[in-house]
Each structure stands twice: as C-alpha cells, then as structure tokens.
Structure 1
Amino acid sequence: MTPLRIGLVGLGPISTGPFNAGEWGIQHMNAAINSPYLELVAVCNSTKESAQKSIASHGLPSTVKAYGSMGDIANDPNVDLVAVVVHLDKHYKLAKTLLQYNKDLLIEFPATPSVAQTSELAELAKSRGVKIIIGSQGRCDPAVSKLRELVDSKIIGDVVYSTFIGHTSLDASQGWLEAQSGALDLDSGISRFNIVFGHQIDAFISVLGSFSSIQTAFKTKEKTTRLLDARGNVVDPLYKITSPDIILVQGVLEQGAAASFQLRTNKCPADGVGSRWIISGTEGELIYTGGPGFFHMGTPGGKITLNKWTAEAEEIDFRSEEKEYINRVDAPGVNILRLYEAFAQGKKNAYASIEDSLETQRFLENVKQNAVWAP
C-alpha cells in the first residue's frame, strides 16, 4: 500500500526526555520514520527556520519540507494527514485553521481543553467531510485490541463484571519540574487526571463501552511539593497540588455490567504488576496483567489469561501477528506508530475518532464533577 504521508506540527530539535514539555513530536517522528506504511514528508514549527533546524538536527531526509505556517503545510498536496503535536492550549486554534483547508488531522489527546471546543471541531470536520483522529494511543495497544476482539466474540459470554487496577509513578513527594507543573493542576487540561487516567479509561471504554452511572472519589496524598527548574533549583517550595493521585470510579456500564476503575500513584507497585484488568462473563473470565509503566503506551510483561468455565485456563497470544520493525520503537512511541498504521489501514476500532474522544472527554468531566474528595 502507498504510505500515509504525514505533516507534523511541532517537532523539537532535541530530546531531553520522553515526557518533557514541547518534545512529544519526537515520538511521532520516530513512529513515522520506522514504519513502511508511514512517511514523514513535512514539518511545521512557529517559523520555517525552526522547522529546518529540527529537520537537520534529527537527520531527516532533504525531501522533508519545512514550513512556518498552517496554510503552507495544509496546502502541500503531498501531505495526507497533518498531526498537531503541540501544547494543549494551541490545539483548538491550529486545528480550526487546518480544517479550513479540508485536511485530515491527528490531534494529540486531549483534543482541546473543553468539551465545547472539541464538539465545535467535531461539527466543523463533519460539515467539511474531514476526518479527525485523536492520539489516545491505548486503543491500538495489541493487548487492548485482543481484549476487544475476545469480548466482542462472546468467548466469555456476556460481560457481567470488570475491574481495572492501575498504577502510575507520577509521584510528586520529592519535587516536580516546573516545566511539567500542569500535570499537578486539575484545571490545566493536562493533569495526571486528564492524561494518565484519561488515556487509560479511554482504552477501557473502547473495549467495554462507557458507564451509564458512576460514583467517584479522589485523593491527593501530597497537598504541596517543591517546584524545580531544569537544574534542580527550587523555584516554589510550596507549590499547591490540585490534581488527584488516587482516582476511584465505580458504577454500571451501559451494557449492564458492574465495573470499577482504580488508579493509584506511588514509586512502584509492590508485586511488579502495574496494571491488572479483570473482565468476567457468564461463560468465563479474562485477566490482563502488565508491568510498571503507562498502560496506554505499552508496558512490559503484558499477559492475557482466558479461563472458560468449561476448560482449563490458557494464555492468549496477542503479539505474534506484529511485524519485527515495530520492535525498533520503544514506549512511549510504539503505540503512536500503531495508531497511525491503524488509521492508514482502515482499522476503525483501533483508533479514536474525534466523536469517540468527545464521549471520553464528557465522561471525564462527569467524573470530575461528581468526585468526592478524601481528606
């Protein structure tokens, strides 16, 4: 098949760490240059000179075009999809501009800071016949894809119960980088709640559907932390933390099952299991376990066990169909590669449309508004 030609908006010249502010575009670059189904053909930064610097710094081919405006990259006939990989506050304005040129878009998750803005982009894209996909890469993780396939096949009958117990190491007790302070601010749109819980609950919803009713609880262990600059100097000794590091959601799924989702934050899980997901049905049960890390980015040691009530438990393979080149990209970029390929190959269940993401964003607002805060 002809490779999907990607224009990338937001590519920093160097990487100082996989999660540092302003550098997420490098993960998208790594995905594009390591897949035979993808081709990075253009980079757009705030200026053409900045884009040229990034292209040169990463040793990209001379065929990769450099642009300094949305109009220039959108008017490039060799760009099939424009990926907006910049700070959340810029998503809405840039995406709205690009939609005027009838270009298909990928917008990083969350799509925008508000349900209203995401809804407006969804309506505008629909009116113009343009596709917007969202970078909630957990949906295309091979374990999530296999669980979705198994649940849909009714191999365990009708789902009656599910629980997800997750772990994240984004602990702020020993200090926090100023450049990433938004992760600790519940109203920033990029808090631990939005990014970590948001990505993971989106994967959960993609397998089992959303909740029809919920009860939620939040807790923040540390109320303040030392905010540090890039050199480790304290810039604020008592930075207030408003984003929860413990999140509990329980309720009833739209299809009738009882379900819960729990996310805790500390240095490391005591048993080495970062994620445990149980899906129990009328005819059997599925259990996924994975190592420490961010579940939606692909975690090591993932395992799916199927136990039919009429047979012995068996481990389900979910990796054998993947190509060898995918192993050249590590987390956190590997599921971005899978996301792009799912779109290129028309695997609609394996990536989120903006309508799918809007449903998740509305759910997040519901969780946030209904949360009871533990002291």
Structure 2
Amino acid sequence: MAPIRVGILGLSDAKTFFGPGAWAKYAHLPSIIALSGDYEVVAIANSTVESARRSIAANDLPATTKAYGSAEDLASDPDVDLIVVSVRVQKHYELTKPALLHKKDVYVEWPLGATLAESEELTRLAKENGVRTIVGVQARADRVVLKLKEILASGEVGDVMSSTVTASTGVLSSDAWMEGLEYYVDFSSGGNEYHIFFAHFLDSFVSVLGDFDDVHGILKSFNKTTAIFNNKGELIDPAYPRTTPDHILVQGTLNSGAVASIIFRKPKAAVDNVGFRWIITGTKGEIEVTTKETQWQMADPSFKLRVKVGKEPEAREVDYTDDGDARLSGLEAIALNTARSYAAFVEKDESRYATFESATKTQRLLNRIAESAGWK
C-alpha cells in the first residue's frame, strides 16, 4: 500500500521545545519519519510560503516538499491525503475546517477546538464529509493505559468498585511563565492547564474506566498572577493574570456504578516525588499506576504498574514495555505516544486513538466539571 501523503500545518524551524510549531517538530515529524513505510511528508503550510520553505529546509525535508502559505491552499492539494494541524488551539477551528470541506483526513492536536461548540461543529463536518479523524490525546496509545485495559478485561482484579487519583502539577510553575504562551494561564483560551495538563489524564481515565454518570467538581486558584519572562530571561510582566485553576477536585459515579475521586494539586514539588498515583480497586484486587512528576501523555519511562490480588503479601510489578514495533525504538519519549497513535490510525484501531467524536466527549466532560464548580 502506498504511504499516506501528509501535509503539516504548523511545523517550525524552532531550535527549542517551546514556541509555535515546536510540537510538530519534536513529536509529529519524528513520528512520521519513523513510520516512513506508512507515511510521507509531502507539504508544509505556515502563515507564509517563505516561512514554510524555511521549515522545510531547517527540518531537512526533501526538496520536492511543497510549501504553502494558507490552510486553504494545502487543503486544495490533490496529492495530500492527511492534514496535521499542530498549532495553538485558538486556530484549530479555522485551520481544520478547509481540510474537512476538501474531504481530507485530519489529525488535530488536543484540544480539538477552543470551545465545545467549535469541536462539535468540526465533528459534524467530519461526519458529513466522510473523513477519518484523529485527535492528539496520545496517551490512549500509551503502553501503561493499554495494559490497564488488558488487566481489567482479564477479570484479574474483579469488577471495579472505585478509583482514586492524586496528582501533582508542580512540574508546571505557578510563579513564572513564558512570553507568547500566556494562553496557557488563561482559562477562557481553551488551551490552558485545565484543558491540557488535566484533560490529558482525564481522557485516559474515561478511556479505561468509562464516562461519569454524575460528576461534581471543585476548582480553586491560589495563584492569581504569574510573572511573564521572554526567551532571554527578561521580566516582561511581574503580575500577569492567571485565571486557570491550580487545584482540581472531581468526584462522581461512573456509568459502571463505580465511584471515583480525582485530585490535582499544585505544590512547589511533590513531597513523595510522585506526579501521578492512580489506584483502581476491584472486588478481587487493586491496580496502582505511579510516575514521577511529569506530563501524563509523554510516555515517561518512570511509569510503574503494580497489581495486588486478594491477600497477597506484596504487589506484583507488571511489565508493560513491549511495543512490538521496532520502528519506534529510536524515538524520544516526547514523540513515542504520538507515533503509536499514527500507527493505530493506519491499522484503524480506534481503541488506541481518539476520533473527533470521542475527543469531543472528553471536552464535554471537562465542561460538565467546570460548570458544576461554577468556574467560567
């Protein structure tokens, strides 16, 4: 089968991880290159043709790679099968819509839209135009998440009665932030700590255990401002408004009848150096997932998965590391789950990636939690 021909919206020539276009450079492009038998980059679109050409050169793409200065021009190219939209969420809607109207398959980074209404509209358009879609909540393809599903499906720990999560967001500073990325501390942007850091975990949680039947949230911010610095380390604004919550408490009952509690807190650093502790309690035993302070979706090698059945004296550590795909062995952790989602897309295995429809379901849950907390 011929490779899927990919056009990327938002690939930069950045030398650092932070900044516009960096995620496409450090996660999407390495993934596509690693899966070169299945995918081929044929076009880049940025805000100008000149910018696209610079990105093509900086990333050592073939001279035959086309350069475009708009989403419409890229979407009009008959030689492009899949369009990747990897820009800040505020631009997702306007840049994704042309691809859907031109009946292109689309990979959009998370969140799908800056608002639920945008996501629902894009989902409708994708369905009407009969295209395949994928959204970058890439932890759905993580080995730990898949192993959790496997253990639960085996019945080893019995029926799930409850699940408890405690997490630290201390890896993201509350005291200082980067110029140009102010949207991450702005709740109304749709692309902030709540809608990204917390949401990546929440998406995995409901992917493994199912949606909430009823849910109640408490959102609280103890850090009302943050200092903004430029890339030279110079102070730009000592007290930029910070409107996203830094403490998130969620309780509810899942559709299965199990009860759930999720608590995200923001210390300077976790007292136990644990970033995530997720416990699932079944009628026969318990499962625990832990990792250092990190971002959930990044395939961090510090993840540990343990199972204890009945009255066993010690929990058993479970190996989850076998990928079964040698092509991914050379990838950095930051790109690994993105590459796994691309591989799942080729195989049409929607258990390992989110579609527009299933991602919008998670966004709907985020709205329910915020509304129950009276947070706007």
TM-score range relative to shorter protein = over 0.9
Instruction: Provide closer, same or farther for how the CA distance between residues 322 and 267 of structure 1 changes in structure 2, counting only shifts above 3 A.
Output: farther
Among 359, 372, 376, the residue aligned to 1:370: 372
Which sits farther off after the overlay, 167-176 or 108-117? 167-176
Match of 1:84 in 2: 85
Distance 2:171 2:317 in 1: 31
What TM-score, normalized by structure 2, do the two folds share?
Answer: 0.93
Match of 2:24 in 1: 25
Match of 1:177 in 2: 178
Contact 1:291-1:300 within 8 A present in 2 as well: no
Matched, 1:337 2:300: no
Distance 2:2 2:317 in 1: 36
Which sits farther off after the overlay, 280-289 or 1-10? 1-10
The answer for unaligned runs of 5 or more in structure 1 is none
Distance 2:174 2:115 in 1: 29
| Cα distance, 1:327 vs structure 2 | 3.5
What is the aligned residue count? 372
| Cα distance, 1:105 vs structure 2 | 0.5
Distance 1:5 1:349 in 2: 23
Instruction: Provide closer, same or farther for how the CA distance between residues 372 and 70 of structure 1 changes in structure 2, counting only shifts above 3 A.
Output: closer
| Cα distance, 1:372 vs structure 2 | 6.2
Secondary structure class of the residue paired with 1:41: strand
Contact 1:171-1:267 within 8 A present in 2 as well: no
For 1:131, the aligned partner's letter is: R
Match of 2:354 in 1: 352
Instruction: Provide closer, same or farther for how the CA distance between residues 208 and 43 of structure 1 changes in structure 2, counting only shifts above 3 A.
Output: same
Which sits farther off after the overlay, 158-167 or 323-332? 323-332
Which sits farther off after the overlay, 326-335 or 307-316? 307-316
Alignment of 1:1-375 (within 5 A): 2-17=2-17, 19-26=18-25, 27-36=27-36, 37-309=38-310, 313-371=315-373
Secondary structure class of the residue paired with 1:46: coil
Distance 2:323 2:168 in 1: 28
Which sits farther off after the overlay, 153-162 or 249-258? 153-162
Contact 2:75-2:98 within 8 A present in 1 as well: no
For 2:265, the aligned partner's letter is: R
What TM-score, normalized by structure 1, do the two folds share?
Answer: 0.93
| Cα distance, 1:171 vs structure 2 | 4.2
Which sits farther off after the overlay, 38-47 or 333-342? 38-47
For 1:317, the aligned partner's letter is: D
Distance 1:95 1:347 in 2: 23
Which sits farther off after the overlay, 308-317 or 118-127? 308-317
Contact 1:85-1:107 within 8 A present in 2 as well: yes
Instruction: Please give the per-residue CA displacement for 1:20-61, whole angstroms capped at 9, x wherever unaligned.
Output: 344222121122112244332221112222211101011122
For 2:369, the aligned partner's letter is: V
Secondary structure class of the residue paired with 2:175: coil
Secondary structure class of the residue paired with 1:348: coil
Secondary structure class of the residue paired with 1:24: helix
Contact 2:88-2:191 within 8 A present in 1 as well: no
The answer for unaligned runs of 5 or more in structure 2 is none
Which sits farther off after the overlay, 194-203 or 317-326? 317-326
Contact 2:143-2:323 within 8 A present in 1 as well: no
Instruction: Please give the per-residue CA displacement for 1:129-152, whole angstroms capped at 9, x wherever unaligned.
Output: 112211111111110111122223
| Cα distance, 1:310 vs structure 2 | 7.0
